[in-house]
Structures are given as structure tokens and as C-alpha cells.
A and B are shown apart, each in its own frame.
Chain A
């Protein structure tokens, strides 16, 4: 009986400790869900057209979440999944072409994703930093660096708490196995990310 009592006590203590440590992990970095539903986030791209102008477009459907604590910026994490079929450059035939085998091959690769690995170059008291992570696009996974700038954070008028960032990066299409020839001026796509997260 005594033995049982002792083991019960241990079990309860373990459970309490485990629970406590779990909550403390959660308290360390706030978890945010990207407000894609309210469209307070966008994934835009631009690429030079012939070298004479910019062609811009975006991905309409994506989802993701991130953790961010202004006191521990280097522990931030972000994870985004993009529906590649949602590419939109405001031109039906071009978008059809972009979804096809010359570019995104969306039937084979319906998703692209970005998973962060580490945060570097934290500057300006955590307002600016680089997110290094793996981008999987067109079935190819490659490490990229996104330069991020915090836009702001605080309470929203509806009882929630939000934090928002903007990020820039560029990728060479060839690096991801997309080698349709758009000409020498159009090898690199610039990605512009606007992310607003709602604290969970």
C-alpha cells in the first residue's frame, strides 16, 4: 500500500512537472497563425520581363504559422505551405502556362513549402533579421535566406494580438529545376512576403 502510494505520488509529480515544462515552452515563444483567411498576408513575386519591366504576380492560397518572441528573436520559427495551383499573374493563359510542365508542374508538385532552420543577423533590437530555411519548390529543396523586417505588433481591436513582418528573397529558377528560357534578364524571381500572424 505504501509502495503504491509512493509510486502514485511520483506519477503525479512527474505529470505536474511535465505539464509545467510544456507550458513554459509555450510561454517562451508566442505561436502565431498566419492570417491568410483574412488575407492579411500575401506572397508576391516579380520577375523581369525581357529586361524592360517587371511582371508581378502572387500565390493566392497558402497557410502557415510562426513563433516569435521579441526577447528571443533568434528562436523564431516559421513554416509556410503554398498551393502552387493558386499562382495568379492576372492573365488566364499565362497562369495556365505557369501551372504547366514548362514551369511549376502543379499536377506533380501541388505544394511548395518553406521551413525555417535558423535566424541570423539579428539587428536593430530584433526589428531586422534573416531567416534561413529550406524552400521546397518544383520538387527541389534548397536552402534560401529571407531578409525580414518587423512591421509591428500589438493588440487588435477584436480582442486578439497580432504581429506582422515583411520579407524579401530571390531565387534562381534554374536552381529549382525550372529551365524554360525566358531570356537572360529573367533568370531570377524576387519574392516578397507579407505576413501577419494572430497569436493563438
Chain B
């Protein structure tokens, strides 16, 4: 129920996946909104501090997720999936992980440039590992924005592919990410 096995994903993977989706979409929208605000808007300061806090929480979740992925058995591909589909699906996942990691890392680096660590809602302050110079901070900012857009584009394709699998090909691809797999050795394949 909790863990993944050969036939599908467990509850932990599923919850982490969908919480990440919500956090990423929220951070993307908030990021665009807050950088467009003028100085006298009420969200001028609230926006960035919420963005940083949620971003750091997502960073912790993503690190935990990568560890979880490392020690979990990935479900076998569905038998009807061709090599090409498997390759496309795996590439999208790898690219998404890489993009998410880069956007989280550059976001963190923007905040630490002058020796002060970012904090999560004032509860925990993160340590400063690197202090980038002005040029590199600005570069980090550009990468942060471009890669954030790339995440949205690749994630949209990834989501669209899931919908095609569900409604057109009519296989279990999407259902596997919604319904936790049973732990029993029960080989019932339907649901």
C-alpha cells in the first residue's frame, strides 16, 4: 500500500508526486506574479518570502523523493508500451528531475549571495553554502526563469501523455499514479 512494487506505485510515491505538482505550479505562478509587482503592492514582500519558503519545502521534499526513488523498486512498464514510449516517458522524467533540481538550486543560490541564508516562514534558516558574485547571481536568475518555463512545458507534455494513455490508448498509466498498488501478492491486474 505504501511502497512501490513491480505492478504499480504505493501511496507515498503518489502523494509526493501530486504534492510536487501543486507546489511547482503554485511556485511558477507566484514567481511570475511577484516579479511583476510594483513597489507599493501588498504582495511585494509577502510574495517572495512565500515563494522562498515553499521553494525550500519543495527542495526538502525533492531530495527525500530522490532518495526514495533510489531505494524503491520502480514499477515495470505496462506490457502494451513500446520501447519508444518507454524511452519517451523515461526521458521526460529524467529531464523533469534535472530541471526541478536546477531551478531549486539556482533559487537557493539567489538568496544566499550576500551571506544570509533563506528561511522557511521564519522557522528554520538554511545555511549559506556558496556566495555567488553579482554576475553569477544574475545568471542564476536567468536560468531559474528559463528552466521554470521548461519544467512547465515538459510537465504539460508529461501530463498530456498521461491523458492520452488514459482516454485514447485506454491503459492503466494514469490510474497507476492515482490509485496505490496493493501490497498483496494478488496478481489481479484490473484495478
In the bound complex, residues from chain B placing their C-beta under 8 Å from that of A24 are: none
Judge if A156 is at the interface, Cβ distance under 8 Å. Answer: no
Judge if A93 is at the interface, Cβ distance under 8 Å. Answer: yes
In the bound complex, residues from chain B placing their C-beta under 8 Å from that of A182 are: 39
What's the interface size class on B, roughly?
A: 10 to 19
Judge if A107 is at the interface, Cβ distance under 8 Å. Answer: yes
For the complex formed, measure the closest distance between the CB of B150 and the CB atoms of chain A, giving whole angstroms: 21
In the bound complex, residues from chain B placing their C-beta under 8 Å from that of A2 are: none
What is the bound-complex CA distance between A136 and B74, given in angstroms? 61
Judge if B20 is at the interface, Cβ distance under 8 Å. Answer: no
What is the bound-complex CA distance between A91 and B137, given in angstroms? 12
In the bound complex, residues from chain B placing their C-beta under 8 Å from that of A181 are: 38-40
Q: Known: A90-B114, A91-B114. Contact between A96 and B137, CB under 8 A?
A: yes
In the bound complex, residues from chain B placing their C-beta under 8 Å from that of A180 are: 39
A93's partner among B38, B40, B111, B134 (CB-CB below 8 A) is: B111
Judge if A42 is at the interface, Cβ distance under 8 Å. Answer: no
Q: Mark A103-115, 1 if CB is under 8 A from B, else 0.
A: 0001100000000
Q: B48 near A93 (CB under 8 angstroms)?
A: yes
In the bound complex, residues from chain A placing their C-beta under 8 Å from that of B40 are: 181, 183
Chain B residues numbered 108-123 whose CB sits less than 8 Å from any CB in chain A: 110-114, 116
What is the bound-complex CA distance between A90 and B113, given in angstroms? 10
In the bound complex, residues from chain A placing their C-beta under 8 Å from that of B116 are: 92
Judge if B135 is at the interface, Cβ distance under 8 Å. Answer: yes
Closest to A91 in B: B114
Q: Mark A21-32, 1 if CB is under 8 A from B, else 0.
A: 000000000000
B137's partner among A86, A90, A92, A183 (CB-CB below 8 A) is: A92
In the bound complex, residues from chain A placing their C-beta under 8 Å from that of B112 are: 92
In the bound complex, residues from chain A placing their C-beta under 8 Å from that of B77 are: none
What is the bound-complex CA distance between A88 and B40, given in angstroms? 22
What is the bound-complex CA distance between A181 and B39, given in angstroms? 7
Q: B134 near A85 (CB under 8 angstroms)?
A: yes
What is the bound-complex CA distance between A99 and B135, given in angstroms? 9
Q: Known: A86-B134, A99-B138, A100-B138. Contact between A92 and B39, CB under 8 A?
A: no
A99's partner among B48, B111, B134 (CB-CB below 8 A) is: B134
Chain B residues numbered 48-91 whose CB sits less than 8 Å from any CB in chain A: 48
Chain A residues numbered 98-136 whose CB sits less than 8 Å from any CB in chain B: 99-100, 106-107
For the complex formed, measure the closest distance between the CB of A118 and the CB atoms of chain B, giving whole angstroms: 34
Q: B114 near A92 (CB under 8 angstroms)?
A: yes
In the bound complex, residues from chain A placing their C-beta under 8 Å from that of B38 are: 181
Q: Which of B111, B112, B116, B134 has the most CB of A within 10 A?
A: B134
For the complex formed, measure the closest distance between the CB of B100 and the CB atoms of chain A, giving whole angstroms: 21
Q: A92 near B113 (CB under 8 angstroms)?
A: yes
In the bound complex, residues from chain B placing their C-beta under 8 Å from that of A86 are: 134
Q: A95 near B39 (CB under 8 angstroms)?
A: no
Judge if B31 is at the interface, Cβ distance under 8 Å. Answer: no
3 smallest CB-CB distances across A and B, nearest first, come from A92-B113, A92-B114, A85-B134
Seen from chain A, the residues whose Cβ lies within 8 Å of a Cβ on chain B are: 85-88, 90-93, 95-96, 99-100, 106-107, 180-183
Seen from chain B, the residues whose Cβ lies within 8 Å of a Cβ on chain A are: 38-40, 48, 110-114, 116, 134-135, 137-138, 141
Q: 17 A-B contacts, Cβ less than 8 Å apart?
A: A85-B134, A85-B135, A88-B114, A90-B114, A91-B114, A92-B113, A93-B48, A93-B111, A95-B134, A95-B137, A96-B113, A96-B134, A96-B137, A106-B134, A180-B39, A181-B38, A182-B39
